[in-house]
Chain A
Amino acid sequence: MTDVVSSERLTAGTKAYLYTSLVLISAIVLVPLVTTALGGFKDLADLRTNPFGLPLEWHAENYTDILFGDRYWRQMVNSLIIAALTVFLTVSVSAMAAFSFAHVRFFGSDFLLNYFLIGLMFPAATAILPLFIRIRDLGLLNTYWGVVLPQVAFGLGMSILLFRNYFRNLPEELFQAAVVDGCGYMRFFWHICLPLSRPIIATVSIISFVGSWNSYILPLIMLNSEKMYPWPLGIMVYRGEFGTAWQLVLAFITLTIMPTVIVFFVAQKHIIAGLTAGAVKS
């Protein structure tokens, strides 16, 4: 870690101040999350009288009922399919385009790159109605592709930029050596560029996966049967259905965010780096 505060002669007072502040903020972050998870184990009366504390009686059935039903799993699978398709398409399509911009000289290359960078400027929401009409006219409403294709398209600007900057920084000698050895563009891309680009592939994958996994507005507009719903739509429906049976809703929320939390703690280094890198480098 850094030591921006150059000398580390922290007095007891400073330390106490630091820890008090940090613990306090952590509490503000964690209390809603912990009460949500615990709330899922309570019954409604318990929740009402004692939302903070441990459950008087542990009602694991709130969780197990959801886990043994197919609703939760169907939503998870839908989210996973949509995210996987999105990541795969984003990475392959933008890596190819970025390679052209980084290593192939052609007329209009700068112009075309700027064209893609327009996509960085505005969110999908601006064009959501025409997008809906387009997807409807293409007959893709209520299919995974109806969500995936716009998602990929709106992620292209950022991904192409990230890939292109990375590709351009690969040593020029590599390319020259490859050409001397009779290697064409395709093989250079496939056998040299991509294997060397694992960090940036990881970054782009993380950004597009997290974006897709959490996305709400596109599936909300493009999907209309619950069978197709990814989990953010699913919990909204669940909450609408069970209204004030908060203990069930809380259990459902806990289970749906569980994968995110687990993956985050396991791969925190990569995820934090990926999500902030996308921001910093664009």
Chain B
Amino acid sequence: MANVSATTALRPVRIPATASARRKHPAVSGRLPVLLLFLPPALLLFSIFVILPMGEAAWYSLYKWDGYGLPTQYVGMRNFELLFKNGAFLTALKNNAMIMIISIIIQIPLAIWLAMMLAHRIAGVVLFRLIFFLPYVLADVAAGLIWRFVYDGDYGLFASIAHLLGVETPYVLADKDLAMYAVLAVIVWKYFGFHMMLFIAGLQSLEKSVLEAAEIDGASGWQRFRYITLPLLGSTVRLSVFFAVVGSLQLFDLIMPLTGGGPFNATQTMVTFLFNFGVARMQVGLGSAVGVVLFLICVTLAFTYKRVFMRHD
């Protein structure tokens, strides 16, 4: 954690924003050349590939367009109406919400539990940490394919577990009622290690004396956790929730190898919907409308997060 501690250690020294605006830099000549050389590359790249496309998405979302020539067929809010009448899109919204909820009620408690266990001084802690973090560094696509094999009803692990138990092999990913739960399990498998790391970092920064004092006062392990550790981890919990929410909104790479959004659109997320209905069919207007909805959700969340979470910053 060298990097984290290096910068956080420096943080208290940091000059408050108002003072730093008036930092007494001696008048140095050559301010203009440096700005003209250093800023434009970033500005150009960012404007051309981030800001303009976002604006264009808003513009295209008002048209029916196949992507060739110029958009001329103005349809107003029709794409948005179509979107919110589309069963697959509504499923996608519901799935996105479900991923957030599962991340919050299963993944984060799991991560805290593991982080607490790994806070004990026992042999093998480093190895366990590594193992738990490993799925996070694997590409989503690879993880998705691996789990596609695990779930495979003919050759996979599920097939042989079912065989051992003497029950009929479930084809989990082909079952529209089960597929989403299977996907959720993979999401937890893939990402809990990252959240666990956040909590390990959070635990490391706790003031130990408080816990010691509580212990001397006779607080039980659970009481210490419930009334001291957990409240002190508040900011980490909020951070973790934020990443779970943002991650769920972007989820695409993991779904494609697992189910591609199927069966019967049961596992669509907003981004897989955008891909399957907007990109693959070159319905630029409809796809852009999804982008706009996604953007609005992201921005709303980001501002809420800023107000709730970054107050102190």
Contacts and interface: CB of A to CB of B under 8 A. Distances in A.
Interface of A: 1-8, 10, 15, 18-19, 21-22, 25-26, 28-33, 35-36, 39, 44, 47-52, 92-94, 96-97, 99-100, 103-106, 112, 115-116, 118-123, 125-134, 149-150, 152-154, 156-157, 160, 165-166, 168-169, 172, 175-176, 179-180, 184-186, 189, 199-200, 202-203, 210, 213-217, 221, 231-232, 235-236, 239, 244, 246, 249-250, 253, 256-257, 260-261, 264-265, 268-277, 279-281
A94 B128 contact: no
A10 B119 CA distance: 12
Contacts of B2: 199, 269-270, 273
B92 interface: no
Given A200-B3, A275-B137, A130 B203 contact: no
Contacts of A160: 42
B150 A32 contact: yes
Given A129-B287, A156-B46, A202-B3, A39 B149 contact: yes
B215 A185 contact: no
A100 B67 CA distance: 38
Given A35-B149, A127-B50, A129-B288, 17 more contacts: A22-B128, A29-B189, A32-B149, A96-B37, A96-B42, A100-B34, A100-B35, A125-B271, A128-B279, A153-B45, A169-B14, A186-B30, A215-B253, A217-B275, A261-B138, A264-B134, A276-B197
B141 A235 contact: yes
Nearest to B123: A19
A127 B54 contact: yes
A10 B120 contact: yes
The 7 A-B residue pairs with the shortest CB-CB distance, nearest first, are A153-B49, A214-B139, A127-B53, A97-B42, A130-B56, A130-B53, A96-B38
Interface stretch (B80-88, B96-104, B156-164, B175-183): B156-164
Q: Is the interface of B mostly helix, strand, loop or mixed?
A: helix
13 contacts: A2-B206, A4-B203, A6-B211, A26-B128, A30-B131, A32-B189, A100-B35, A125-B274, A126-B54, A126-B57, A130-B54, A175-B25, A268-B130
A257 B262 CA distance: 26
B89 interface: no
Contact of B279 (A2, A18, A129, A277): A129
A116 B154 contact: no
A273 to B, nearest CB: 5
Contacts of A154: 49-50
Contacts, number: 355
B116 interface: yes
Contact of A235 (B23, B129, B135, B142): B142
B105 interface: no
A215 B271 CA distance: 14
B7 A128 contact: no
Contacts of A35: 149-150, 157
Contact of A2 (B31, B134, B189, B204): B204
Interface residues of B, number: 120
Given A8-B121, A18-B120, A28 B189 contact: yes
B134 A261 contact: yes
Interface in B174-222: 189, 193-194, 197-198, 200-201, 203-204, 206, 208, 211-212, 215, 221
B232 to A, nearest CB: 10
Given A125-B250, A275-B137, A100 B146 contact: no
B299 A122 contact: yes
B52 A134 contact: yes
A232 B132 contact: no
Given A122-B298, A269-B2, A6 B208 contact: yes
Nearest to A256: B142
B7 A232 contact: no
A182 to B, nearest CB: 10
A253 B28 CA distance: 55
Contacts of B308: none
Contacts of A221: 279
A68 B132 CA distance: 33
B60 A129 contact: yes
Contacts of B149: 32, 35-36, 39, 246, 249-250
A140 B300 CA distance: 33
A221 to B, nearest CB: 6
Contacts of B287: 128-129
Contact of A51 (B48, B141, B155, B292): B155
A7 B7 contact: no
B28 A121 contact: no
Contacts of A153: 45-46, 48-50
